[in-house]
Amino acid sequence: MAEIIEFIECSSLSISYDVLGLASVSFTVVTNSDVLTGDYTTIGVGDLTFTGYISGATAKPILSTDWWEWGMSLVMTSEVTA
């Protein structure tokens, strides 16, 4: 079996906060597998660490390739880690 490659497509990262301080985080994961192997419930962005749960995920193949694109939506809290 080929090595699984999986990464967050950085330009897709979107973070917004509600009035209670919860962060809605969304991003795209690109992988050469139809199954995600990474744990995206904790991610680091700059000097912040976001922790939470996945509220939605969609997968679709990238046409004419063996790659997949996963749209991830999460509800998270953040803390400064610097």
- Asked if pLDDT for residue 1 goes beyond 70, the answer is no
Q: What is the pLDDT of residue 2?
A: 80
> Which is higher by pLDDT, 81 or 5?
5
> 1 lies in a domain?
no
Q: Which domain holds residue 29?
A: 6-80
> 14 lies in a domain?
yes
- Overall domain count for the chain: 1
C-alpha separations of 42 from 5, 38, 52, 54, 74 in Å: 19, 10, 7, 10, 10
